[in-house]
Structure 1
Amino acid sequence: MCFHTSQTKKVKFLEKRYDAELTKSDARDAYDIPRYHLNGFAHPDMLIIPQEGPTALAPALWGIIPKNKKQEQIRDYYKEAVRYGGGLNAQSEKLFDHFIYKNSVFTRRCIVPVSGFFEPHEHKSKKYPFHFKHKDDDVLSLAGLYTIIDKVVTFTILTKKASPLFAKIHNKKNRQPIILQNDFEQDWLKDDLNENGIKELIHMDYQEDDLIAYSVSKDLFSPRVNSDVETIIEKIEYPELPKIV
């Protein structure tokens, strides 16, 4: 599952890339700070492109909340939902019948721009983190859903069964985030997209040749270490780890 991401691109880069504009202009400096490790379980404030405003870069909390909750209930809900994954990921197979997802799937889809993300590989009962990014250092567009709680936007990242590349690395859960192909990013935000169209985009495989994956420091997993540092996305080789990709 996709619980850890990075977002190191400047706001201007994202605005140009998606032909969108930051909705919270006074926070531009804050969003320009590179985030090398965004731990989903800390429910960070990130930028998304919502279906209701496809030319907007909007702040949102990572971890989707049911629409019947109030803003003051968000933190308590996160504490309660941690055993269910904290609302960080949504299995695409459940989109049309899950009590939260079914209320967002037709009207509140979103793009979650990231510069990269992390997945664990298990070898001899030990976990090794791998970092995924675009080979040309472009941003990756992850498919998501969102809800609006009073004035707070909360979102989740969609996942599906792993492709051959992801199955080699995320070899325990065999899942992967849904990465939208560049040519179909805006299709994901179209209001007239029906169930079949949504499923078609979900099942469309991203070009694996456009991705780079490599092992990184195990500090990513340590709650005692500040892993939101540039070195966390640097390659680390482990002699005991067989070549995977």
Structure 2
Amino acid sequence: MCGRFALYSSYPRLSQALRLSLSQPDLELVPRYNVAPGTWITGVWHQGPDTGPAFGQLWWGYRPAWAKEGAPQPINAKVETVATSRFFQAAFRRHRCLIPADGWFEWLPTEDGKQPYYLSRRDREPLFLAGIWAERIDGSPGCAILTEPARGAAREIHDRMPLALNEASLEPWLDPDLTDRETIRQVVRHLDAVHIEHWPVSRAVNKPGEGQGAVLINPA
């Protein structure tokens, strides 16, 4: 799954890594080292029918406006079912987004309790996680991050991981005119698992409100 991540790269660095023409937000990106669900997070998506992809803020929790008030508000969607699930399929077809992250956290059970690990690219370049979004009942966008079976080093910590896309997949993933499920599967690829590494970090990260400093991703 993906239930916590860090984002501290600046907008210019993210734009450079995306290699897409994006307008720069007026405000600087505030580094966050313990991003939790149920908060506003940075994303990239087409925010209008005649606009290109742009940075914006999405609520991390997916509940379309048409869903009942008591409907679930998942933070993740499985790649195996996102295209066929009634709850997700419309967003998968036309409302895909990217969630930039510098790394994410997973927990490994130990005799002393759960030990958090931080997973990131070996070269420390930003990751771009595949997401879907839908308009919430209040008109704001809410999103879920796609997950897939864990691969490579990530499999040592958890059985699932966020779907991080390779560079060639970023533009087609955002393309609202690309709606055919099979075509999407053919042109969108995940980042090679060889690029991912992990290390144990402080258990202070276990509490979402426990600070936001870079110390949270230092090796424990």
Report the TM-score range of the alignment, normalised by the length of the smaller protein. 0.7 to 0.9
Percent identity over paired residues: 21
Deviation of 1:12 (Å): 2.3
Corresponding residue for residue 241 of structure 1 = none
Is residue 2–residue 76 contact of structure 2 (8 Å, CA) maintained in 1?
yes
Aligned mate of 1:94, from 73, 81, 88:
81
Q: Distance in 2 between matches of 1:200 and 1:117?
A: 26
Query: Mapping of 1:1-12 within 5 angstroms?
Result: 1-12=1-12
CA shift in 2, pair 1:165/1:54, >3 Å: farther
Deviates more, 1:87-96 or 1:44-53: 44-53
Query: Mapping of 1:207-222 within 5 angstroms?
Result: 207-222=192-207
Q: Distance in 2 between matches of 1:54 and 1:217?
A: 40
Aligned mate of 1:229, from 198, 213, 219:
213
Corresponding residue for residue 39 of structure 1 = 36
Aligned mate of 1:198, from 184, 190, 207:
184
Is residue 47–residue 59 contact of structure 1 (8 Å, CA) maintained in 2?
yes
Deviations 1:3-39 (A, max 9, x none): 00111011222233333124x53xx14xx22101101
Is residue 94–residue 179 contact of structure 2 (8 Å, CA) maintained in 1?
no
Corresponding residue for residue 157 of structure 2 = 169
Corresponding residue for residue 54 of structure 2 = 56
Q: Do residues 115 (structure 1) and 102 (structure 2) align?
A: yes
Q: Please, what TM-score do these two structures have when normalized by structure 2?
A: 0.86
Corresponding residue for residue 179 of structure 1 = 164
Unaligned runs of 5+ in 1: 237-245
Deviates more, 1:52-61 or 1:2-11: 52-61
Is residue 6–residue 38 contact of structure 1 (8 Å, CA) maintained in 2?
yes
Deviation of 1:69 (Å): 5.5
Unaligned runs of 5+ in 2: none
CA shift in 2, pair 1:158/1:107, >3 Å: same
Corresponding residue for residue 15 of structure 2 = 15
Residue-pair matches, total: 213
AA in 2 matched with 1:198: I
Q: Distance in 2 between matches of 1:58 and 1:45?
A: 10
CA shift in 2, pair 1:88/1:54, >3 Å: farther
Corresponding residue for residue 142 of structure 1 = 129
